[in-house]
């Protein structure tokens, strides 16, 4: 039996070398199908069968049969192949994801992408090269056309960006009304869409951290611009704030001072004038529309204004405990109805604590405190007052002693 398996393996491997020498596509497809039938169900040629299926899928794709190519690739579960090289497994799964995106099968694309752990891209490849012990399964070398681990990392995150943007465009064009999504009718979609900006920014950040990208300014400057844009478009939360501050500490940001100033404005507790900001960055934003996507870019312009309004509301809540709604509208450059709507949306989204007294037109940003908190705050204030009195008495006594000594002299 051992000799039979060796003979079949050698025959399949030898016949695979003749695929590129076939005179036409029909002969090539027939040869691949024949070898596929020979290797079907045989675990000792599972790697060869996976490579054959990949070649056949590529041929189908060249003929314009995307759906058939995707169906062929989905038949193989390379994550169970112990003898296949890690880079070849990742490249195969990424090819499955790409074909699913080409046929707009976003659910299956997401499922396949989860087979890849992002920690595998940060693994030390030097530790993997070791001598095989007795009883260990030998891992085959990956073919020469398989990208390196860092190249696969870039391909992975580019596919993830494409998945997020493509899924949004597909849902918006097929299921959502043309005037925009309603957060009440589509709460899950509305929440996930807002989080998409942060996810895209994190994907670009992962590509930006690749050494080959970071060494070439022609590559990292456009990527850093995208990181900044999507980070600004993302709703304010702890993760977005952390990424924002870490990006501000990047020395490369000095090469694009306009974006450094934009991020600096968002971390500064000062009201931002939307009209001034839009006049300054409109040309930059229009140039990025080809990257953000056509309809996604139009929606992003509205979201950018929304993020600036939310930032201004958070600034107002930091400086005021009680303020009239009219004054809030003046600070935000909005009407009373728009100011009340944005305040209510932030309260519903649990990004702000506020109460609106509509008859009196007063907004209260204070949270309700129980008796223990009030007593603790009083005790803290009294301690501060007593400490200030003690320091003042000490300074007065010091000045008195100095003047007495001067008079004696």
CA distance 10 to 38: 12
pLDDT at 93 over 90: yes
Contacts (Cβ under 8 Å, ≥6 apart) of 148: 87
| Cβ–Cβ < 8 Å for 224, 253 | yes
pLDDT for the residue 307: 92
How far is the first Cα of the chain from the last one, in angstroms, to the nearest whole number? 115
Q: By C-alpha distance, which of 282, 346, 279, 341 is closest to 317?
A: 346
CA distance 76 to 49: 9
Q: Is residue 296 included in any domain, yes or no? A: no
3-class state of residue 182 by DSSP:
coil
Q: What is the mean pLDDT of the chain?
A: 82
CATH number, domain with residue 108 = 1.25.40.10
pLDDT bin (cut points 50, 70, 90) of residue 14 is: confident
Interval 327-335 mean pLDDT: 90
Contacts (Cβ under 8 Å, ≥6 apart) of 52: 16, 32, 35, 36, 39
Helix (H) or strand (E) holding 364: strand 362-364
Domain residues for the domain of 5 are 1-122
CA distance 365 to 326: 15
pLDDT for the residue 188: 36
Q: Is residue 91 included in any domain, yes or no? A: yes
Cα 279 to its chain centre, rounded Å, is: 27
Tokens of 186: 């589509």
Q: What is the pLDDT of residues 119-148, one digit of tens each?
A: 888 876 555 554 444 444 577 788 888 888
Range of weakest confidence among 6-10, 74-78, 93-97: 6-10
Helix (H) or strand (E) holding 310: helix 294-319
Q: Is residue 373 included in any domain, yes or no? A: no
pLDDT for the residue 292: 55
Percent of the chain with pLDDT over 70: 86
CA distance 206 to 153: 8
DSSP letter at 216 equals -
Q: Is residue 35 included in any domain, yes or no? A: yes
Q: What is the pLDDT of residues 359-379, one digit of tens each?
A: 888 989 877 677 887 888 889
Range of weakest confidence among 10-14, 180-184, 197-201, 320-324: 180-184
Q: What is the pLDDT of residues 241-295, one digit of tens each?
A: 999 999 999 899 989 999 999 999 999 999 999 889 989 988 888 877 655 554 4
Q: Is residue 145 included in any domain, yes or no? A: no
Tokens of 307: 């993020």
CA distance 57 to 54: 5
pLDDT at 189 over 70: no
Q: What is the pLDDT of residues 222-234, one digit of tens each?
A: 999 999 999 999 8
β partners of residue 355: 364
Q: Is residue 79 included in any domain, yes or no? A: yes
Q: Is residue 179 included in any domain, yes or no? A: no
Q: DSSP labels for 43-105?
A: GGGHHHHHHHHHHHHHHHHHTT-HHHHHHHHHT--GGG-SSS-HHHHHHHHHHHHHHHHHTT-
Tokens of 277: 């900001």
pLDDT at 207 over 90: yes
String of b and e for 371-404 (b: at least 16 CB within 10 Å)? Answer: eeeeeeeeeeeeeeeeeeeeeeeeeeeeeeeeee
Domain count, the chain: 1
Q: By C-alpha distance, which of 80, 77, 81, 78 is closest to 138?
A: 81
Tokens of 213: 């990208």
Largest Cα–Cα distance in the chain? 116
Starting at the edge strand found earlier in the chain, the sheet holding 322-324 runs 322-324, 362-364, 355-357
Exposure on the CB side of residue 17, measured as CA atoms within 13 A: 5
Q: Is residue 76 included in any domain, yes or no? A: yes
């Amino acid at each position: 039996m051992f000799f039979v398996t060796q003979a079949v393996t050698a025959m399949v491997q030898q016949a695979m070398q003749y695929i590129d020498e076939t005179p036409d596509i029909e002969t090539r497809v027939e040869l691949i199908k024949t070898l596929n039938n020979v290797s079907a169900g045989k675990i000792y040629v599972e790697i060869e069968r996976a490579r054959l299926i990949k070649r056949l899928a590529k041929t189908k794709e060249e003929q314009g049969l995307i759906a058939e190519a995707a169906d062929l690739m989905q038949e193989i579960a390379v994550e169970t192949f112990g003898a296949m090289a890690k880079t070849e497994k990742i490249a195969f799964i990424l090819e499955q994801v790409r074909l699913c995106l080409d046929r707009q099968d976003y659910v299956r694309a997401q499922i396949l992408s989860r087979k890849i752990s992002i920690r595998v891209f940060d693994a030390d490849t030097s530790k993997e090269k070791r001598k095989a012990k007795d009883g260990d399964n030998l891992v085959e070398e990956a073919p020469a056309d398989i990208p390196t681990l860092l190249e696969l990392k870039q391909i992975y995150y580019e596919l993830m960006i494409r998945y997020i943007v493509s899924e949004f465009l597909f849902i918006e064009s097929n299921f959502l009304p043309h005037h925009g999504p309603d957060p009440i009718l589509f709460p899950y979609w509305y929440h996930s869409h807002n989080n998409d900006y942060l996810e895209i920014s994190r994907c670009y950040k992962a590509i930006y951290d690749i050494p080959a990208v970071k060494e070439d300014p022609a590559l990292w400057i456009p990527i850093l611009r995208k990181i900044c844009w999507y980070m600004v478009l993302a709703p304010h939360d702890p993760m977005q704030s952390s990424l924002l501050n870490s990006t501000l500490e990047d020395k490369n940001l000095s090469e694009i001072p306009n974006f450094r100033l934009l991020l600096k404005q968002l971390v500064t507790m000062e009201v931002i004038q939307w009209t001034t900001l839009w006049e300054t960055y409109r040309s930059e934003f229009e140039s990025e529309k080809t990257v953000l996507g056509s309809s996604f870019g139009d929606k992003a312009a509205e979201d950018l204004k929304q993020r600036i309004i939310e930032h201004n509301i958070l600034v107002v809540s930091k400086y005021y405990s009680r303020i009239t709604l009219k004054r809030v509208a003046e600070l935000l450059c909005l009407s009373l109805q728009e100011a009340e709507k944005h305040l209510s949306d932030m309260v519903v989204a649990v990004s702000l604590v506020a109460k609106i007294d509509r008859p009196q037109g007063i907004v209260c940003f204070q949270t309700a405190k129980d008796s223990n908190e009030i007593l603790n705050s009083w005790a803290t204030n009294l301690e501060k007052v007593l400490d200030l009195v003690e320091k003042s008495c000490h300074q007065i006594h010091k000045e008195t002693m100095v003047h007495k000594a001067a008079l004696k002299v």
